[in-house]
Amino acid sequence: MTNEVINDPKMEAFEARIARGEKIEPGDWMPEAYRKQLIRMISQHAHSEYIGMLPEGKWIPHAPSLRRKMILIAKVQDEAGHGQYLYHAAETLGATREEMMDAFLTGKAKYSSIFNYPSDSWSDVAIIGWLVDGAAIKNQLMLAQCSYGPYSRAMVRICAEETFHHKQGKEMVLKYAAGTPKQREMVQDSLNRYWWPSVMMLGPHDSDSPNTPQLVRWGIKTKTNDEVRQEFIAETAPELLEAGLTIPDPDLHQDETSGEWIHGPIDWDEFWQVVRGNGPCNKERLAARAKAHADGAWVREALNGYSQKKSAAIIN
Ligand code: BYC
């Protein structure tokens, strides 16, 4: 326990508010560690949305029909919007957009491991929608209950949109799984490549998760990584099997007594390699975002110039 916690009336009042289920709002007193944890998590989450546009965005020009193209454009646009809500939520804690972008583009800040895997076929778009958005929703429904008001409210809005993303992915996977042998083979290949990264994206096991105890204590997380992972597997695995697909985990089974889904060992070496910047696409993804940021410099300059001119006009 930190010194901040011991015999501090402000801390006691703060923790009592959390225990009563009250939301903490931007102007309220909060421990420095609470503020830092939130900035870390919310900015990582924002970066994930922002970089998460890339694997699916790549497929917009190759969508097999106008309907699929319109759905995918809307989804990718939504991810950009989610990034905006989240950067704003982090700004309410005193982080500036420039600091967050700098940490992201220089590789100091983390973002979700899942977006460092390639999207090699059209059915990856389908599997990302079902699995990646499905895992993200499980995590975000938990975060919608979080103790910090702006993050919790952003999550409510994001979850509504993610539900649409999840459904469109599932609809495609089910269609291809019941389609031609070629479609079936394509979607099975996507599942083979995306199952484990999706299971991993919910974070290390609780025993190896240094942040979880403090986050749970302060109501930032309301469930642990393993609890969320179990929910994701319990919901998704039976539906994939029902669709006739094979999950690439020979040990996966449902315990007859508890009903719990038991998965095989997770390759945490792979996970940490990806988190540390050595995944299949880390360099390519960051380079693409850095280019987009540089290409957008003129827009930021124009906006700054406009707002300065407007302020000058108001003062005069
Ligand atoms: N990838 O103590 P732990 C989306 C890091 S995007 C990389 O368990 P915590 C979407 C962790 O940061 C959805 N790093 O951490 C968008 C920590 O390092 P630091 C993204 C990971 O915070 C487009 C260290 O490992 N969602 O929906 O208690 C298209 C130890 O971990 C990962 C969010 O960002 C990972 N997967 O729990 C489609 C949700 N996992 O920071 C979809 C917000 C762990 O101490 N974040 N690490 O140096 C969270 O809920 C939590 O931060 C996590 C990790 C559950 C991810």
Over the stretch 83-139, which tens digit does the pLDDT of each residue have?
A: 999 999 999 999 999 999 999 999 999 999 999 999 999 999 999 999 999 999 999
Asked if the model's pLDDT at residue 316 lies above 70, the reply is no
Predicted confidence band of residue 308 (pLDDT cuts 50, 70, 90): confident
Q: Tell which atom from ligand 1 comes closest to the C-alpha of 136.
A: 27
Ligand 1: residue whose CA is nearest its atom 32: 203
Q: Which pLDDT tens digit goes with each residue over 247-286? A: 999 999 999 999 999 999 999 999 999 999 999 999 999 9
CATH topology of domain 9-315: Ferritin (1.20.1260)
How is the chain split into domains, by residue range? Answer: 9-315
Neighbours of 207 (CB within 10 A): 8
Residue 136 CB–ligand 1 contact under 6 Å: yes
CA distance 262 to 162: 26
Assess contact for 56 and 117: CB atoms under 8 A. Answer: no
- The model carries a pTM of 0.94
Contacts (Cβ under 8 Å, ≥6 apart) of 189 = 121, 123
Residue 152 CB–ligand 1 contact under 6 Å: no
CA distance 237 to 253: 9
Q: How far is the CA of 58 from the centre of ligand 1 (A)?
A: 23
